[in-house]
Amino acid sequence: MGITGFPDRPPVRIGTSIADYQTAILGAFALMMAIYHRDIHDGEGQQIDLAMYETIIRFTEVLVPAYDRLGTVRARQGNKHFAAAPGEHFRTADGRYMILTVSADSGFQRLALAMNRNDWLDDPRFATHEQRWKHVDELNAALAAWIEGQPVEQLCAKLDEAKLAYSFIYSIEDIMNDPHYQARETIASVPDPHIGPVRMAGVIPKFTDREVKPIEPAPALGQHNAEIYGDLLGMSEQDLAVLTGAEVI
């Protein structure tokens, strides 16, 4: 969070519990590697040592080597990124926000042509990304005015024609109604026995050689006790009854 937010304000909390999910992903990856090691070597297991804070530092791009070799301490700089000049979150004519970032020289040239800013093509200040980054605020201001000053449909057509990557910043309502999300079945409907169908994020990644089974609701407390304690552990019905009566299970 020390690098998230604007320089004149306190650090901003990430919008979701990202450390929990990143740790789960790397934990699953570590588990698969441990199973692979078991299968091809001596059959022994592995102890997985994974800390939540370490999964965060693993996702910080060049933060560590930039400090180690250059002494660079990255600070909060809003929606600007050192690899994108121009690049920002730009307000559109209909009040939404669009992400547009340009790093490559060829991409900047296509943007300049789309904006009818041929003067940028011969300006030595914008010849390379390193030079453009020195003038990123000027570029972003000009791009912001251009984006907000025209109908969104016309704007998108120009960006598409210039083969420039961009994206609108979605609310959850936008996500739920987006035809691309629907076509890929990114949102799944899960039948809950108590409250009915609930829509949630679907299973990813998808595999081409297997059918994706519908997501089942989480089991009720103790729903599989007979299978686990009886079939797997060999406990008798009497033993289960004793544990149940003592409220152990």
Per-residue model confidence (pLDDT) at position 54: 94
Identify whether the C-beta of residue 29 lies closer than 8 Å to the C-beta of residue 40: no
Q: Average of pLDDT values for 31-60?
A: 92
User: What whole-number percentage of the chain has pLDDT above 90?
Assistant: 82
- So what's the pLDDT on residue 203? 86
- Sign of the torsion angle spanned by Cα atoms 171, 174, 178, 184: positive
Q: Per mean pLDDT, which range of 56-70, 86-100, 127-141, 204-218 is the poorest?
A: 204-218
pLDDT per residue over 56-78, tens digit each?
999 998 999 999 999 999 999 99
> 170: which DSSP letter?
P
Exactly one of 20, 68, 94, 160 is catalytic; name it. Answer: 20
Q: Strands (DSSP E) along the chain, which ranges?
A: 87-91, 97-101, 166-168, 187-192, 196-201
If residue 36 lies in a helix (H) or strand (E), which one and from where to where? helix 18-40
Catalytic annotation present for 239: no
Q: Kindly state the percentage of the chain with pLDDT values over 70.
A: 99
Q: pLDDT tens for residues 180-189?
A: 999 998 999 9
Tens digit of each residue's pLDDT (9 = 90 or more) over 112-135 = 999 999 999 999 999 999 999 999
pLDDT at 213: 77
Neighbours of 101 (CB within 10 A): 19
pLDDT at 206 over 90: no
Q: What is the mean pLDDT of residues 79-92?
A: 95
Domain spans of the chain, in order of start: 1-77, 87-168, 219-249
State the fold for domain 87-168. formyl-coa transferase, domain 3 (3.30.1540)
